[in-house]
Structure 1
């Protein structure tokens, strides 16, 4: 212990004597560790962390296999396999008690909340009455929902508030329990507030309110029949396994019950072909998967991007670690005589290694602390970039596990690489070292440093190639021909149902909104649709075309939106044949439709041949066939990545019921200038009618590209950081080797070598080091980029433009790093150099 304390005090003195070295090593390590901590925090929250509930390892997520679907399915982004009808949930809950201690059902919902005459459209969650008790979640105020709140439909108008909503909207007022608020025009009593920390059983969702399933009709007007409809699949199910039960055993034990319930549902669906029966019943299974992390509508889409970014952050950390090792090696070269003297005075190898490890430990602790200072703002920036309407569940808090991860990485890296100079100093040449004799820079030590620098260059090339591919991807996405003129276009969303409007009054309100928006100053055209444009969502179905015989097993999903008469004019989508809709295309006139070019070519070979043909969405019920009156040019309606989906447009006035509406205003002035005018006009129509997602169309597209923008930002940041670190490493090894070769350079100049040739000698050295790293890294980067093909768009993993740009950038950085050492080498005075030797 005495020797340890002596070495610790000596290490502190050494560090104080070399503040420049300490600051450089700590800052280098902090950059790598801080970036990794911030990225790992996101990855941990999205992919690794368990729900903050009682014994999360006992939770299981249910999904049903079988390729045959019938009726209506709302998967909310999780996939149709995880959607169940409410009757199926109820039967599984009541009859599956042999393996489950409880089953809960949940579904996201948008609700219009009015309090103190202020209306908002907010996210909510409709849940079974046993939701909180099965999860084991406690209340912060009042009580939570219970099974008694989920009995007779429409009889339990109670609501539970999320903790953030209670804080931000009600100022943490404890007196709100028992207060009444309006949800979609129906009074609801506030039963309580959920304890802090819990957001939802669905990761990525942040509902403001929780309402019981029994209030479905009030929360989603017109959908109350879902509580008895076996063919309407819209809820997700999570179960709590009995103690000692495993998901695998539970899946086998529940299989007979699932088969029996599936057979009952098949009766409700009606007669189907044998192939459908085989898929729906014989080949169907109820899968029981571990659910400690809950289910998620967005986890799968985030998994590859987060792993890719984590890989980039790890490469930055590796480059930083190699840089620290290089610094330690350079520093150890200046301490050879010191350690030789210690050996001569009787020190053993253990004390030497202990000394180096202590110094590395101090650097690691300081680097970890500095890394925390960098990690927090980096994490806040990332969360801000990810805070979209669809994904806002990331936290900016670094918990204890992340703090441990931060320091463990910093200490492990510094201690591990402090052993590199230790190997060099275990058996020094004591006699020559004490004589202070120098050597040329051609020994094994310098070769090892050169190898380290080449490794840094190679790693930076890997990151730069990834950065370049992601930048090219974003450029391609931003310049995709959507088929829509997105400039000078405003969009917003209204849902009169969520403001308490009766079903029969909504069509007139829609027309009033359209007429009012058309009269606003600066507005050139107004269009509306029931299906949001470029909102990364879409509602697809099938179609029956009169006179068309589909090939066996044809799967040709189409979009079926309802649009206003001036929709194509507002979006500036040209017609290829026929006419557009008019105000006369209403319920009193024959049904008409407009199809896009892809639809027309698939069914009719050409746009002109489609006009006059008859089609109907779904199975082709008598009296519902519409006549195609026009064909429009293909346009992307869901997102920028996906191919154009065949589309069948119908007039809004011929829709049996259209609740929500997405409006699009073409303006002559900058669109942002019309925001206040739009809000004021909507208040004049009805102050209680909430306006949601008021933004420009360009902002709407940016929202759908939030993940891509995050990856682009991080890739560029990590690529530039890695290049900077590689440049510092190149400079360090060149400066050291040039200093070591002072005598050699002096002799060269004394023998007549020009200073230009001396400078060229240094530049050749740096280009050789960079070239080795580039040659080795380019093939590796192409192979690794293939793993990211799903994240790329319009660019190959071996994009020549990206590879050429990376090689040029690294070459420029290498030359810049060599400028100062080259100037020093060319200015060596041979007389002074030889006299010093």
Structure 2
């Protein structure tokens, strides 16, 4: 202990004597540790952390296999196999008590809330969650204010207008009012009583969802109007099921135990569907399974899309940390090389190798601890920036708070890395050349030390190349996505969303309101064209279904899903989508005239070979047994609808005036001036139509695309940040080894100059050293980077893992950094006076 305390005091004195070294090493380490902690926080929250509920390890998520289905199905970003009908949920809940302590049902929805704020009527669209009455009790969530929903709130359809607010909504919109329970708010035009407020740490059983309020399933027709009798329809799959196992039960055993009940329930539903072909029966019943998967992290609609990007970013952050560690190791090698005589004297006076290694490790651990503490200051800043980038389109499930586990992760990384980079100088000083060192025959260290440091710097350059190649590929991907041909002219285009149903409008009054909105928007100054649809463009959503084409027999196994939006007469003009054959819609295409439709290129080529051949053909939605056929009057050029990565979907457009039901409206205004200048004008015009009609997602079309590219934008930001940081660290490492080697070769340089070498020749000598080090790192890293980039192929777009432009750019950048790092050492070497150099030793 005495020797340890002595070494500790000595280490502190040594660090205090070299403040510049300490600051450089600590900042380098802090950047690597802080970045890793911030990224790991996102990864932990999205992929690892359990829900903040009672005994989350008992939770399971249910999903059903079997492709065959009749009726309507919908999903909210997750797989359609996780969607169930409410009657199926009710039967599983009531009859599956042998293995489940409870099953809960959940589905997201948007609702319109109207409140009186300082005597002003405020209307807004918010995110809600429709849940079964046992939702909070099964999860084990407590109330922050008032009470939560109970089973008694979910008995009589339409008979329990109560709601529970999320803690965040209560804080931001209700001013943390302690008397909020019992107050009344208007949801979709109907009065609801606030029962209470959920616990602050709880957001939803669905990770990624940030609902503002929860309402019981019995109030579905009020909060999600116009959806039919979903609480009774066995063929409408629209909600998700999460369960809690009985104590001691496992998901595997529960899946086997519930299989007979699932088979029986499916058999009953199959009977209700009537006579079906054997292939349908096999898919619907024989091959169908109810899967019971662990659900401690909750259900998620977005986790799968975030998994690969987060792991990719975590890998990049780890590379930054590794580069930082190598850089600090390089700095320590410089420092230890300058202390060779000191440690040789210690050996000569009887110090053991263990004591010398202890001294060096202790100094490294101290740097690691201080670097870890500095990383604690950097990590929250990085995390806040990342969360802000992820929440540009509204609330996010990510938190900016670092919990105790992440703090432990931070220090574990710092200490582990500090021990790692302390070993390099310790190994170098285990067997010093005591005689030469005490005679001062060398000023710093042996050639072996220099070679080892050169290897370390080449490794650092190689790691930087790996990171820069990954960064370049992500940046190129984002550029390709931003410049992809969408089929729509997004310039000078405004979009916003209204849903009259969520503002209390009766369905029969909505068509007239839609027409009023279109006419009002078209009359605004600077507006050149107005179009509308019930299905948002480039929002990663879609309304799809089957169609029957007259005279076309589809193959038995064909699964050709068709987008089926309704659009206004001027929609294609506003979006500047060209018509390839036939005509566009007109105002005369209404309910008084025969049904017509327009298809896109992909649809026309699949069914009719050419666009011209499609005009005049007839088509009907579904299997053709019900509904009236419509005549195709035009074919439009393909345009991307869901997202920028996917190819254009086959699409059948119908005129809005012939729609049986078109409740919500996504409007698109093409302006002659900058789109942002029209925002206030649009809001004012909508307020004049009806102050209670909430305007949602008012933005430019370019902003809409940026919102859809949220994950890609986050990766691009981090890739650029990590790439610049890696480049800077590589430059520091190259400069350090050159400065060190130049100082060590002072006598050699002096002799060269004395024998007639020019200063330009000496500069070339230094430059050759740096290019050699950088070249070794590049040659070793390029093949590795190409191989590793193949793991990221699913995240790339329009660029290969061996993109020559990216590789050439990285090589050029590293070469420029190497040359810049060599400037000062080269000037210093070329300015050496021969007399001074020969006296150096």
TM over 0.5: same fold?
yes
Task: Specify the SS of the correspondent of 1:836.
Answer: coil
Aligned residue runs from structure 1 range 349-498, under 5 A: 349-389=353-393, 392-438=396-442, 443-498=447-502
Q: Which residue number corresponds to residue 73 of structure 2?
A: 73
Cα distance in 2 for partners of 1:4, 1:440 equals: 27
After superposition, where does 1:206-217 map in structure 2 within 5 Å? 206-217=210-221
C-alpha separation between the residues in 1 aligned to 2:396 and 2:171?
A: 17
C-alpha distance after superposition, 1:768-810 (max 9, x if no partner): 1111110111111111111111111111111111111111110
SS for the counterpart of 2:113 is: strand
What are the within-5 Å matches in structure 2 for residues 792-807 of structure 1? 792-807=796-811
- Which residue of the other structure, out of 122, 129, 153, is the alignment partner of 1:118? 122
Q: Distance in 2 between matches of 1:727 and 1:238?
A: 52
Are residue 682 (structure 1) and residue 686 (structure 2) matched? yes
Q: Which SS does the other structure have where 1:395 is aligned?
A: coil
Are 1:604 and 1:610, in contact at CA under 8 Å, matched by a contact in 2? yes
Structure 2 counterpart of 1:329: 333
Distance (whole Å) between structure 2 residues aligned to residue 69 and residue 341 of structure 1: 84
CA contact (8 A) 1:441 1:737 kept: no
Superposition deviation, residue 761 in structure 1? 1.1
1:285 and 2:289 are equivalent in the alignment: yes
Question: Counterparts of 1:55 and 1:657 in 2: how far apart (Å)?
Answer: 44
Give the 3-state SS of the residue equivalent to 2:258 in structure 1. Answer: helix
Cα displacement string for residues 439-469 of structure 1 (whole angstroms, at most 9, x for unaligned residues)? 7976211111011100011011111111111
Q: Counterpart of 2:661? A: 657
Query: 1:632-688 CA deviation, whole Å, 9 max, x = no partner?
Result: 111111111100111100010111111111001111111111111111111111100
1:378–1:74 Cα change, 3 Å: same
Moved more, 741-750 or 157-166: 741-750
Distance 2:751 2:770 in 1: 21
Aligned to 2:266: 262
Q: Distance in 2 between matches of 1:565 and 1:753?
A: 82
Match of 1:99 in 2: 99
Give the equivalent residue in structure 1 for 2:3. 3
8 Å Cα contact 2:110/2:127 also seen in 1: yes
- TM, length-normalised to structure 1: 0.99
Say which is worse superposed, 270-279 or 119-128, in terms of deviation: 270-279
Residue 730, structure 1, aligned to residue 734, structure 2: yes
CA distance in 2 between counterparts of 1:606 and 1:431 reads 89
1:28-39 map, 5 Å = 28-39=28-39
Counterpart selection for 1:162 from 166, 187, 211: 166
Instruction: Give the one of 130, 150, 156 matched to 1:146.
Output: 150
Q: In 2, distance between residues paired with 1:386 and 1:440? A: 50
Query: Secondary structure of the equivalent of 2:646?
Result: coil
Q: For 2:640 and 2:786, locate their aligned partners in 1 and report how far apart those are by CA, in whole Å.
A: 31
Give unmatched runs, 5+ long, in structure 1.
Answer: none
- C-alpha contact 2:338 2:443 (8 A) present in aligned 1: no
Aligned equivalent of 2:649, options 645, 656, 660: 645
SS in 2 for 1:115: strand
Instruction: Tell which deviates more after alignment, 697-706 or 552-561.
Output: 552-561
TM-superposed CA distance for 1:620, in Å, is: 1.3
Q: TM-score, normalised by structure 2?
A: 0.98
Root-mean-square deviation over aligned CA pairs: 1.2
Q: Partner of 2:229: helix, strand, or coil?
A: helix
SS in 2 for 1:662: strand
SS for the counterpart of 1:87 is helix
Deviation at 1:518, TM superposition (A): 1.0
Distance in 2 (alpha carbons) for counterparts of 1:296 and 1:112: 24
Contact map agreement 2:746 2:840 (CA 8 A) in 1: no
Distance in 1 of aligned mates of 2:230 and 2:746: 85
Report the more deviating stretch, 523-532 or 427-436: 427-436
Q: Distance in 1 between matches of 2:368 and 2:520?
A: 65
Displacement after TM superposition at 1:755 (Å): 1.8
User: What is the alpha-carbon distance in structure 2 between the residues aligned to residue 445 and residue 265 of structure 1?
Assistant: 77
Say which of 749, 752, 762 aligns to 2:756.
752
Determine if contact 1:205/1:390 at 8 Å carries over to the other structure: no
Structure 1 residues 830, 440: CA separation in 2 closer, same or farther (over 3 Å shift)?
Answer: farther
Q: Distance in 1 between matches of 2:541 and 2:394?
A: 11
Residue 621 of structure 2 is matched in structure 1 by 617
Give the equivalent residue in structure 2 for 1:86: 86
Residues 254-277 of structure 1, C-alpha deviations (whole Å, 9 max, x = no match): 111111111112123332211111
1:312 is displaced (CA, Å) by 0.3
2:609 to 605, 612, 622: 605
Alignment partners' CA distance in 1, 2:97 and 2:148: 23
1:179–1:189 Cα contact (<8 Å) kept:
yes
Measured after TM superposition, the shift of residue 58 of structure 1 is 0.6
Equivalent of 2:343, from 321, 327, 339? 339
**Once structures 1 and 2 are overlaid, which stretch shifts more, 162-171 or 623-632?**
623-632
C-alpha contact 1:440 1:744 (8 A) present in aligned 2: no
Query: When the two structures are aligned, how many residues end up with a matched partner?
Result: 837
Aligned to 1:629: 633
Matched, 1:242 2:239: no
Instruction: Give 1:526's match in structure 2, choosing from 516, 526, 530.
Output: 530
1:268-300 Cα shifts (integer Å, max 9, x gaps): 333221111111111111111110100110000
Consecutive unaligned residues in structure 2, runs of 5 or more? none
Give matches, 1:547-566, under 5 Å: 547-566=551-570
For residues 644 and 523 of structure 1, the distance between their equivalents in structure 2, rounded to whole angstroms, comes to 28
| 3-state SS of paired residue (1:520) | coil
Match of 1:24 in 2: 24
Q: Which residue of structure 1 aligns with residue 675 of structure 2?
A: 671
Question: Do 1:477 and 1:640's aligned partners in 2 also have CA atoms closer than 8 Å?
Answer: yes
Give, in angstroms, the shift of residue 390 of structure 1: 7.4
Q: Distance in 1 between matches of 2:223 and 2:343?
A: 77
Determine whether 1:704 maps to 2:708.
yes
CA shift digits 1:679-731 (9 cap, x unpaired): 11111111000000001111111110111111111111111111110111011
433-442 or 814-823: bigger deviation: 433-442
CA drift of 1:427 comes to: 2.3
Rounded to whole Å, the distance in 2 between the matches of 1:622 and 1:426 is: 87
Counterpart of 1:788 in 2: which secondary structure? Answer: helix
Query: The residue matched to 2:356 in structure 1 has which SS?
Result: helix
Contact 1:62 1:286 in 2 (8 A): yes
1:391 and 1:607 mapped to 2: Cα distance? 44
